[in-house]
A and B are shown apart, each in its own frame.
Chain A
């Protein structure tokens, strides 16, 4: 486990390698990447506890947390966390949790559902189309978000919006399947 301070290693360019070796011997207990750095007060963040903490954050923070490090990424990918986030957003889906979970997991999971279909719904739309056309729902452009949602960015989604999102997700799922078959 111990590494020699001055290397038997070929004299490399300089001080960098030696400095690295010194650091390694100091932290030779934990040679993993994850915990090698901690000369500071910080304790190794157990994955289970990270999971517990991430249960309490919102969608955006969870996505950010997934970009922090590999360990955080692995924890932030957990479908249960995204299921929590999605369920907070919708009021009543008209079916049981278990049914919904089965369907969503079959279609690609809560994380994808949120990123692709729910997040755009809860953001105010950029005014690319004139807002006066919101009354006549243009059938061509699906993301014509009604004014109501625009004024309250984080409102809870109703049954219809949830079902619509699930429909879109299943359509894209089937589209991919059909393409595969056509190519054969």
Chain B
């Protein structure tokens, strides 16, 4: 139904195939470059991304492609002022997933060079650690504290200004 109804197929690391429209594919710089170089006939292997993550990324690309198309069609009338807000809300909901998947999304967005997804997902993780103490951050990400007590004390005194804030 869209003007460019061409689709391409991408293959995840698990071997699953996903179809996406050209417009959606254009969200990813990597895929765009690959298509420019190698053409659309072959399936695009994305062996760094597993199926679960790929499905999420597909969803994102489709949503943003549709949003862009709607903007272009009516010169913005269909979207209106609230449209960007709505998209942002959709993004926020979209990223409410468990940590493992969220990090995989970041990895995929980085690999596929989808800047907006990378920014949003990094922001989501950044929001998780904002205002947290180091101990709390370690708990969230299950990180081992590999400092000695002396090193830790030194760091605290160097960053006293941050610890002091109420």
Residue interface bits B132-147, CB-to-A below 8 A is 1, else 0: 1110011001111111
What is the bound-complex CA distance between A48 and B104, given in angstroms? Answer: 14
Contacts of B106 in A (CB 8 A): 49, 52-53
Given contacts A65-B137, A67-B156, contact A42 B132 (CB under 8 A): no
* A61 surroundings in chain B (CB, below 8 A): 126, 129-132
Given A61-B131, A70-B147: A53 and B122 interface contact (C-beta under 8 Å): yes
Interface of B is mostly: helix
Kindly list chain A residues whose C-beta atoms are within 8 Å of the C-beta of B146. 33-34, 69-70
Do the beta carbons of A57 and B165 come within 8 Å of each other? no
**What residues on B are CB-neighbors of A123 within 8 Å?**
161, 165
Residue count of chain B within 8 Å CB distance of chain A: 38
CA distance A41 to B141 in the complex (A): 9
CB distance from B154 to the nearest CB of A (A): 10
Q: Does A177 contact B (CB under 8 A)?
A: no
Residue interface bits B109-121, CB-to-A below 8 A is 1, else 0 = 0100000001100
Minimum Cβ distance to chain A for residue B31 (Å): 20
Q: Which of A52-82 contact B (CB under 8 A)?
A: 52-61, 63-70, 72-73
Could you tell me the distance between the alpha carbons of A34 and B106 in the complex, rounded to whole angstroms? 20
A contact set with B: CB distance below 8 Å: 33-34, 36-38, 40-43, 45-46, 48-49, 52-61, 63-70, 72-73, 115, 119-120, 123
Residue ranges of B at the interface with A (Cβ–Cβ < 8 Å): 98-100, 103-104, 106-107, 110, 118-119, 122-123, 125-127, 129-134, 137-138, 141-147, 152, 155-156, 158-159, 161-162, 165
Could you pull out 29 A-B pairs where Cβ atoms are within 8 angstroms? Answer: A33-B144, A34-B146, A36-B144, A37-B142, A41-B100, A43-B100, A43-B104, A46-B107, A49-B110, A52-B118, A53-B122, A55-B126, A57-B129, A57-B130, A60-B131, A60-B162, A61-B131, A63-B162, A64-B137, A65-B129, A65-B137, A67-B147, A68-B137, A68-B143, A69-B138, A69-B145, A119-B161, A119-B162, A123-B165
